[in-house]
């Protein structure tokens, strides 16, 4: 069976062996061919900018995977999806299509046009609703309203709507998606081989944080919390448009000597190792579908402080395998202080957190995902 995927994830073309790379390596076991239409790579590329770039096979074989990045800007993404997709289907005879969707929904609108041209059955995937339950800025408020419009109208053409947890599923239906089409299939795949490694690097920090540096991730509040935690050291893994702003903030607060900006790391192993150089992990997002990185931190045995977003209410039992925060600087400072002061609690939380690995094991969940897509053909 052949799969056509419409995705905004260009990380593989940028040379990153992150979550998407590992997902594809597992997905190729379940399909004969996978073609991925995505936006163009504008920075950090590895020369993989031409349409039809083939990703090398893994040692275990499986499907050939080809990327087809749009040669122009996002303005042309919708016709690129419809026209390139039609050409690919005519040449290779894809059986099913899946679409990773988020505002402004170029992918979903293009996929609907492609479906109208070819009749290919497809699923639209909503991993989280931007700006819900809390919007970090006006852009996220606009994104939330665009999601409401999209779910009420465009999803009617899809054969199924995939969400990644029960919370998002309920909100997708509340926003207008047909309830009968909504399926909950987790996307938070954890790799036992990487995350269950008993090797622990030396501890150099008190807190690790990992994610794209945007307002939604709540990093600003976490940095502010350090003012009331005069000895606490923070490691920030990731990059994004807010990095320079956050670097200025730590300097203005006089805490630059206690905060390290590490940037992006190229592999999941590197991220896992870096996270574990801290005593605890903090995830302070205002809205999320997961996030996977928080589950990965738990699987590594890190005590976690997290907001009640995405899959966190399903994964964390407060005070047992993690701790919830409201996300304000004051509450973060209080929770961090109390946890760092209790070695026994940190140890027990870390041991309980590791059990999440069994619930979100990669190969089992990706087989469920692949079987779901095949059922649409």
Question: How far out from the chain centre does Cα 276 lie?
Answer: 20
Cis peptide before 133 (omega within 30 of 0): yes
Identify the architecture of domain 192-359 in CATH: 3-Layer(aba) Sandwich (3.40)
| 229 within 8 A of 333, measured Cβ to Cβ | yes
Nearest alpha carbon to residue 19 among 249, 244, 189, 151: 189
Residue 228: per-residue pLDDT: 96
Query: What confidence tier does 319 reach under pLDDT thresholds 50, 70, 90?
Result: very high
- pLDDT at residue 116 is higher than 70: yes
| DSSP assignments along 111-162, one per residue | HHHHHHHH---EEEEES--TT-S--SSHHHHHHHHHHHHHHHHGGGGSSEEE
Residue 56: per-residue pLDDT: 67
User: Residue 27 is encoded by which pair of tokens?
Assistant: 């997905």
- Determine the Cα–Cα distance for residues 310 and 308; give it in Å rounded to an integer: 7
Pick the CATH number of 2-189+361-375 from 1.20.140.10, 3.10.450.50, 3.40.50.2000, 3.30.1330.10: 3.40.50.2000
Number of C-beta neighbours around residue 54 at 10 A? 10
Q: Per-residue b/e over 7-36, b at no fewer than 16 CB within 10 Å?
A: bebbbbbbebbbbbbbbbbbbbebbebbbb
Average pLDDT, integer, range 80-101: 96
Mean pLDDT estimate for the chain: 90
- Determine the Cα–Cα distance for residues 106 and 63; give it in Å rounded to an integer: 27
Its pTM stands at 0.72
Question: How far out from the chain centre does Cα 6 lie?
Answer: 16
Residue 43: per-residue pLDDT: 57
pLDDT by residue (tens digit) across 335-361? 999 999 999 999 999 999 999 888 888
Cis peptide before 291 (omega within 30 of 0): yes
| Maximum pairwise Cα distance, the chain | 63
- Determine the Cα–Cα distance for residues 108 and 98; give it in Å rounded to an integer: 10
Work out the angle between the directed axes of helices 343-353 and 329-340 (0-180°, nearest 10): 100
Domain boundaries along the sequence of the chain = 2-189+361-375, 192-359
For residue 271, the number of C-alpha atoms closer than 13 Å in the C-beta half-sphere is 28
Which phi and psi angles does 234 have, rounded to 5°?
-120, 130
Percent of the chain with pLDDT over 90: 66
Nearest alpha carbon to residue 247 among 185, 190, 236: 236
- Determine the Cα–Cα distance for residues 377 and 94; give it in Å rounded to an integer: 9
| 166 within 8 A of 184, measured Cβ to Cβ | yes
- Determine the Cα–Cα distance for residues 195 and 213; give it in Å rounded to an integer: 24
User: Residue 5 is encoded by which pair of tokens?
Assistant: 């995927």
Residue that has been written with the tokens 């209410």 in this structure: 313
pLDDT by residue (tens digit) across 205-239? 999 999 999 999 999 999 999 999 999 999 999 99
- Determine the Cα–Cα distance for residues 284 and 305; give it in Å rounded to an integer: 8
pLDDT by residue (tens digit) across 98-107? 999 888 899 9
Residue that has been written with the tokens 């050291």 in this structure: 233
Residue 47: per-residue pLDDT: 45
Residue that has been written with the tokens 């665009």 in this structure: 146
- pLDDT at residue 191 is higher than 80: no
**Domains 2-189+361-375 and 192-359 belong to one CATH topology:** yes
Residue 188: per-residue pLDDT: 78
């Amino acid at each position: 069976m052949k799969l056509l995927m419409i995705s905004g994830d260009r990380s593989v073309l940028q040379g990153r062996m992150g979550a998407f790379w590992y997902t594809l390596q597992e997905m190729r076991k379940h399909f004969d061919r996978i073609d991925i239409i995505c936006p163009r790579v504008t920075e950090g590329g590895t020369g993989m900018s031409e349409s039809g770039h083939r990703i090398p096979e893994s040692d275990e074989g499986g499907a050939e995977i080809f990327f087809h990045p749009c040669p122009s800007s996002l303005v042309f993404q919708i016709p690129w999806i419809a026209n390139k997709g039609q050409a690919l289907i005519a040449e290779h005879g894809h059986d099913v299509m899946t679409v990773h969707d988020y505002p402004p929904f170029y992918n979903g609108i293009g996929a609907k046009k492609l479906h109208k041209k070819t009749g290919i059955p497809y699923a639209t995937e909503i991993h989280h609703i931007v700006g819900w339950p809390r919007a970090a800025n006006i852009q996220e408020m606009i994104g939330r309203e665009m999601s409401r419009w999209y779910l009420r109208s465009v999803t009617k053409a899809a054969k199924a709507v995939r969400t990644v947890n029960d919370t998002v599923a309920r909100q997708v239906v509340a926003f207008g998606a047909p309830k009968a089409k909504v399926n909950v299939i987790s996307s938070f795949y954890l790799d036992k081989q990487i995350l269950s490694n008993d090797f622990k690097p030396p501890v150099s920090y008190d807190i690790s944080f990992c994610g794209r540096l945007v307002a939604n991730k709540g990093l600003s509040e976490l940095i502010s919390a350090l003012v009331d935690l005069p000895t606490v050291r923070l490691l920030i893994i990731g990059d994004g448009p807010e990095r320079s702003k956050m670097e200025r903030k730590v300097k203005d607060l006089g805490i630059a000597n206690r905060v390290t900006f590490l940037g992006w790391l190229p592999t999941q192993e590197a991220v896992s190792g870096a996270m574990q150089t801290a005593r605890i992990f903090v995830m302070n997002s205002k809205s999320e579908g997961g996030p996977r990185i928080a589950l990965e931190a738990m699987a590594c045995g890190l005590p976690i402080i997290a907001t009640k977003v995405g899959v966190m209410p399903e994964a964390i039992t407060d005070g047992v395998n993690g701790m919830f925060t409201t996300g304000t600087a004051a509450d973060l400072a209080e929770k961090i202080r109390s946890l760092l002061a209790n070695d026994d609690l940190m140890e027990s939380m870390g041991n309980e957190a590791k059990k999440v690995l069994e619930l979100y094991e990669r190969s089992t969940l990706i087989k469920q995902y692949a079987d779901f897509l095949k059922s649409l053909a």
